Chains A and B, each alone.
Chain A
Amino acid sequence: AQTVTQSQPEMSVQEAETVTLSCTYDTSESNYYLFWYKQPPSRQMILVIRQEAYKQQNATENRFSVNFQKAAKSFSLKISDSQLGDTAMYFCAFMKGGSQGNLIFGKGTKLSVKP
């Protein structure tokens, strides 16, 4: 069975600074995907970034980037130039490859961006 662990229940960062959220996972699968989702107070789940396990290059999306360490099964999210709108719960998630895979979520990290 796959597991996803987020060891930081809460974090805070000053506006415009950089913050890194940690995530580790455990799996025996060779084909899988990793995601970071953002859940603001509206509760709508928003995809932040996605990484295919077979890709060595770390995914980036504007101010968001990941540090994917496959051997260590680590998948951290770096948010640069933090903005007030980044305040939200962040969930790391794992999905087995294939058409029937479902998302397995970590417990989440509550990020607060302070002005």
Chain B
Amino acid sequence: GAVVSQHPSRVICKSGTSVKIECRSLDFQATTMFWYRQFPKQSLMLMATSNEGSKATYEQGVEKDKFLINHASLTLSTLTVTSAHPEDSSFYICSAREVAGGMTGELFFGEGSRLTVL
């Protein structure tokens, strides 16, 4: 299957700093990428939908000024957690849909990034 790479896999930062997480589709082009957040022992909650070349669509309750998403190319989307606070500590996962996917419906997931804010 297609490969989606997330980096970094783990990051620890101080409160008040910003952290960028990258999501790359390695062997396919992705017009749409999704960012999820997963708290311990809970399910994945969709944060936003990222479309190449346009502004991301955020889910209700997600602060777009805090979680900046950029999808500048067909293979890269970035999530920047700005002015991070301890409550932002979580596991963040991206997924990507292949351009030719169309109605196939399959999304490919990155390995996830664990953010710890001290």
Residues of A at the B interface (CB closer than 8 Å) are 33, 42-45, 47, 50, 52, 91, 95, 97-108
B109 touches A45 (CB 8 A): yes
| Distance (whole angstroms) from the CB of B51 to the closest CB of chain A | 8
A102 touches B109 (CB 8 A): no
Majority-rule SS of B interface residues: strand
| Distance (whole angstroms) from the CB of B80 to the closest CB of chain A | 21
B75 at the interface (CB under 8 A from A): no
A100 touches B49 (CB 8 A): yes
Q: How many A-B residue pairs have CB under 8 A?
A: 55
Number of B residues near A (Cβ < 8 Å) is 25
Tell which of A42, A45, A99, A105 touches B103, judged by Cβ atoms closer than 8 Å. Answer: A99
Q: Chain B 64-103, CB within 8 Å of chain A: the 1/0 string? A: 0000000000000000000000000001010101000111
Residues of B at the A interface (CB closer than 8 Å) are 1, 31-32, 34, 38, 42-46, 49, 91, 93, 95, 97, 101-103, 105-107, 109, 111-112, 114
| Distance (whole angstroms) from the CB of B118 to the closest CB of chain A | 21
